[in-house]
Amino acid sequence: MKINLKKFFSISSSRNSVIDNVKIIRSTKRLKTISLQIKNGVPIIYCPIYIKDSYLRPIIKKKQLWIKKKIKAEKGREKILVKNKSIFPFLGRKITLFTLLSEENRVLLKNNSLFIYCTDFNLVKKNLVEWLKLEAKKYLASRVQFVSSKIKISFRSLNLKSYRAMWGSCNSRSEIYLNWKLVMLPKKVIDYVIVHELCHIIEPNHSKSFWSLVKKYDNEYLENKGWLKKNGIEIIKF
């Protein structure tokens, strides 16, 4: 939720405050909007320093139902933990992590168990991420090529990125960029993202023509898109 503002409010006497359990964080930077977000179950409003509590109270009151729904949805999401014997998502599978001290750093996948050997337990996540990126490079390169050939849409190149707000992109040069964290999603959802980006080569926007093209190549795209919206937030933040 964002509200465009003009600078006609006086400077607030308190930089940060709390209104009806909503944390207010005021900024002296060139912020021109009010933004309401839920972070770790806590509703937070970011706004310019000149916005008074009296202006924010009716906004908060109006957004109470939205806040409750967002907090409930966040609590319902499965947290991704990196610790011994935790369950971790990988290509639609639920694998169990085992962390072990070793003289060398390496990761070994055996059936549904992932053994993370490290010289220091502080390196567990680092080693896991490096392994995931290597697996993503292998799987996504092969899969993009397969889907591209299947739907007969050619691309120029594929690059992997570490995004925290999107799963992929495609530019006017037909270059595809994908988030390496896709390997933590189910395979059919990965295929949806690949189809989505390849279709942008033909239709560069999100018009009706674009979604018709996506549907042509993925008749379950609404289901896959919905899964991503519901479950992808924790993964993309990883």
Q: How far apart are alpha carbons 236 and 185 in whole angstroms? A: 10
Tell me: do 97 and 215 sit in the same domain: yes
198-234 burial, b at 16+ Cβ within 10 Å, e below that, comes to bbbbeeeeeeeebbebbeebbeebeebbebbeebbee
Pairing relationship of beta strands 33-39 and 2-4 according to DSSP bridges = antiparallel
Query: What is the reported pLDDT for 9?
Result: 53
CA-nearest of 183, 217, 181 to 197 is 217
CA torsion, ordered 185, 222, 76, 41, to nearest 10 deg: 90
Tell me: do 118 and 196 sit in the same domain: yes
Strands (E), 130-185: 157-161, 168-170, 175-179
Unique residue bearing structure tokens 């907090």: 71
Tell me: do 66 and 155 sit in the same domain: no
Q: How many CB atoms are closer than 10 A to CB 174?
A: 15
In a domain, residue 170? The reply is yes
| Cα-based distances in Å from 230 to 91, 99, 224 | 17, 29, 10
Tell me: do 120 and 217 sit in the same domain: yes
Query: What is the reported pLDDT for 69?
Result: 86
In a domain, residue 82? The reply is no
Tell me: do 116 and 142 sit in the same domain: yes
Enumerate residues 6+ apart whose C-beta is below 8 A from 138. Answer: none
Tell me: do 127 and 42 sit in the same domain: no
In a domain, residue 81? The reply is no
Tell me: do 138 and 172 sit in the same domain: yes
Tell me: do 68 and 91 sit in the same domain: no
Q: How far apart are alpha carbons 180 and 133 in whole angstroms? A: 6
85-122 burial, b at 16+ Cβ within 10 Å, e below that, comes to eeebbbeeeebebebeeeeebebeeeeeebebbbeeee
Tell me: do 117 and 161 sit in the same domain: yes
CA-nearest of 66, 4, 53, 50 to 24 is 53
Domain residues for the domain of 112 are 87-236
Question: Which of the listed residues 45, 76, 107 is the one where a domain comes to its end?
Answer: 76
Question: Which of the listed residues 12, 45, 76 is the one where a domain comes to its end?
Answer: 76
DSSP code, position 123: G
Query: What is the reported pLDDT for 8?
Result: 40
Tell me: do 71 and 100 sit in the same domain: no
Enumerate residues 6+ apart whose C-beta is below 8 A from 172. Answer: 204
Tell me: do 201 and 176 sit in the same domain: yes
Q: How far apart are alpha carbons 15 and 233 in whole angstroms? A: 30
Question: Which of the listed residues 47, 76, 105 is the one where a domain comes to its end?
Answer: 76
Tell me: do 109 and 191 sit in the same domain: yes
Query: What is the reported pLDDT for 7?
Result: 44
Q: How far apart are alpha carbons 225 and 230 in whole angstroms? A: 9
Query: What is the reported pLDDT for 14?
Result: 60
- Into how many domains does the chain fold? 2
In a domain, residue 155? The reply is yes
One digit per residue, pLDDT tens: the chain, 238 residues? 555 554 445 554 467 889 999 999 998 777 788 999 988 789 999 999 889 999 999 999 999 999 998 888 777 666 788 899 999 999 999 999 999 999 999 999 999 999 999 999 999 999 999 999 999 999 999 999 999 999 999 999 999 999 989 999 999 999 999 999 999 999 999 999 999 999 999 999 999 999 999 999 999 999 999 999 989 988 998 8
Q: How far apart are alpha carbons 25 and 15 in whole angstroms? A: 7
